[in-house]
Structure 1
């Protein structure tokens, strides 16, 4: 394998490896690991799928398969090694068994109940442990896991699409698809990276969406949970979300609604504040209790603004098409809405003619 001299290069390679588990490991975080001796990577690993080997364990198995000695090696791992039994044994035991002399950690474990446990066990075993190498990059990669551990709420990503004039497709006209094919592909990647998708009932009535992950490039994974804000129970009984049975679907009301003839995959939840309104924060608390780490808010305009006004959006993707929709009397939505909600633009790129800006709450 390639010889390197900079420790940051080793951690960067571990971050690159961790990406191989995307869409496959949720609710676990993306984690990568490399084993290094004399400036050379001798083995590599990553958390590949839920229930599979952790990154450190895969790297050790990779070394065994190559016939490479791990004793005295240094492990570079993007997340503090775990010290508890879950679906797999503790990674601390694997590292001690492998005889590594040093462990370089990107990010400490964000779970306050176990943070530092893995590092302490390794140090007590005589292994040198350092933490914080490329920490920002490691934590950005596993931001959903980090957010849920710290707040016990899902990280919220708002996805909005507008036409050339910054207007949303009008509810009064026939639905028009104006985003490019590549932008639509990115939508399915966002869905694949989310544990739940949320829309308002007007979107369901107008578009009858499936809200599922489709396309050959999103990898094998189960479908995200679908959530509909439907205060007064207006969702059509014959819409796809109510009938297809593809994935659990949660309807959020402000009052009790009859569940007669609901399919098994449909659940109705009553959530409202003292004024009888739907508070996005209560929705997030409910999802956090269900260990939902990531929520994609897809629309429509009233739902976007409801979450923005409640300071309930952590990230946003705004896609602006070069196409102007004739006769569109829909509302404006753009950078000002996101800035007023406390989000900061991080980047802008052109994808198949569409301008896609990414925003984040700092």
Structure 2
């Protein structure tokens, strides 16, 4: 048997964590495991002696693990095959190791062309898949309404803004005062408008949101099929919440063009709703990344700082012009 390669504390605990996990798995699974390859914290690719591979992922509670198992099974049963499978164990035979409950996921083979938001075609393909996901997840809301939280947009964004404002003394070493003020002004204007129009959210049916529509959660398989993965942040709310996050993700690749964004058939209907327009102005991505940088004490990591600075400043003028166009649309009644 090959000895497992140690991993850093960042990926799985102390330096002997992977060796201990390998020993535990070989004692508790009816397979000969020859290698664990870390992907990120508490997520590993497991290779068996016959070459078969699967993904092992740790959860902080058995409840979270079981919800993932049930939800993925529900998706497939209701007609959404565009994701991985998850292999479940009876409750009494769950994999529990050093405060983590581990689930086993199908290993997906990557295609030659990974998925990125680097073309309008890719952006459209991702939206089409997300639309299919919402079409199925809407049917599941009744079954999961007591298991999943409701996503409260206003509360979430107000808290993110509070964190950003509390971090301003630290951010002043990196950002000009005028930039910080602009970001704060945009957030205040956006939140005020969303609160004013919050009743409009009742016009939309609830779905189960994916919650993290970053490009890396869209997976291009070896047969060219696009899959949706990683449902750790699922919650209940109108589909507009996922589409807002998706819009925020793709706008930098669209050069912050309002015309390009509204050209997608899945997004165009939302441009008729003022609450969606107000929400597009909230700089959620910038707040998220600066707050994370402060929380993780990563100011000495030049690579991370450079990436967040580029996000903030790189297309600042285009972002500002986009926001001004949105404000004009609202002033003109959404036209």
TM-score relative to the length of structure 2: 0.22
Give the greater-gyration-radius structure (CA).
1
Which structure carries more strand by proportion?
1
Which structure carries more helix by proportion?
2
